[in-house]
Amino acid sequence: NAGVTQTPKFQVLKTGQSMTLQCAQDMNHEYMSWYRQDPGMGLRLIHYSVGAGITDQGEVPNGYNVSRSTTEDFPLRLLSAAPSQTSVYFCASSYDTGTKDTQYFGPGTRLTVL
Amino acid sequence: KNEVEQSPQNLTAQEGEFITINCSYSVGISALHWLQQHPGGGIVSLFMLSSGKKKHGRLIATINIQEKHSSLHITASHPRDSAVYICAAGNKLTFGGGTRVLVKP
C-alpha cells in the first residue's frame, strides 16, 4: 500500500492564483481530513469528510473548498490564494471518525503564496 | 486557554536519559493521540489511548481521564528520538503545540 499520498510536495503561487492540492489514500478509509501547520501553532483542521459525498468544515475553512467524489481522493482547492495561506498542508485518513482510530498522514505540501 | 496544552515546549536530553512530555486537555475525548514529527516533516501516529497505559518499544504513553492529563515517556533516549512530539484530543482532533525534543549523544 502507498498509504496517504499528497501532490505536489512544494508549490509557489502568486496572490490571486488558484490551485488544487491532491490527496489520495489506498486503505479504503472513510474519514479524511486536511490540516495546516504554521510556525508556533499546532495543526489546525481545515475541512474533513466522513465518506464519499460528505464534507464539513473544520476550525479554519475560509479560503478553501473540498469535495469527496470517491473514497480514495480528497482534493483541497484554493480559489484565490492569499499570503496568509502560506503554510504546510497535511492530509490524513483513518478507518473511523478522526478521534476513534489511528490517523495516517501524508508527507505534506509546502505552499508559499507571494 | 488552549484546549490542548503541552509542556515543555522544548526539551534537551543526554543520550540514555528518561524523558517525559506532558499533555493536558479540556475537551471531551474518546481517545487521545500521540504523534511524532521528524525533522523531515513527516507525521507518524505513535499511540491512541483512552485509558491506562500503552507501551511500544522504549515509548510509554499514559492517560488519566479524571485529571484530563496524558504523558509520553521515552526510556533510554537516543539521538534518533529527536523529533517534535504532538498530542491531540477532541471530537475533531485539536492539537497541542508540540514538544521539540533534542537528544544529544
Q: Is the pLDDT of residue B90 over 90?
A: no
- Cell digits for A36? 495546516
* Model pLDDT, residue B1: 59
| φ and ψ of A84, to 5 deg | -70, -10
| A45 reaches B (C-beta below 8 A) | yes
Kindly report the average pLDDT of chain A as a whole number.
94
- A27 in Cβ contact with A15 (< 8 Å): no
- Read out DSSP for B74-102? ESS--GGG-EEEEEEETTTTEEP--EEEE
- A31 in Cβ contact with A93 (< 8 Å): yes
Tell me whether residues A108 and B96 touch, CB distance under 8 A. no
- Read out DSSP for B9-47? SEEEEETT--EEEEEEE-S--S-EEEEEE-TT--EEEEE
Tell me whether residues B41 and A105 touch, CB distance under 8 A. no
Q: Is the pLDDT of residue B95 over 70?
A: yes
Q: How far A17 CA sits from the closest chain B CA (Å)?
A: 26
Q: How confident is the model at residue A100 (pLDDT cuts 50, 70, 90)?
A: confident
The mean pLDDT value for B38-61 works out to 92
Q: Which amino acid is at A81?
A: A
Q: How confident is the model at residue B40 (pLDDT cuts 50, 70, 90)?
A: confident
* Model pLDDT, residue B93: 84
Q: State how far the Cα of B65 lies from the Cα of B52, in Å rounded to an integer.
A: 9
- A74 in Cβ contact with A34 (< 8 Å): yes
pLDDT in tens, A69-89: 999 999 999 999 999 999 999
Question: B98 contacts in A (CB within 8 Å)?
Answer: 42
Interface of B with A (CB under 8 A): 2, 4, 29-31, 33, 35, 41-45, 48, 86, 88-98
| φ and ψ of A85, to 5 deg | -90, 5
Q: Is the pLDDT of residue B39 over 90?
A: no
Which of A9-13, A47-51, B1-5, B24-28 bottoms out in mean pLDDT, i.e. has the lowest? B1-5
pLDDT in tens, A30-50: 999 999 999 878 899 999 999
Question: B86 contacts in A (CB within 8 Å)?
Answer: 42-43
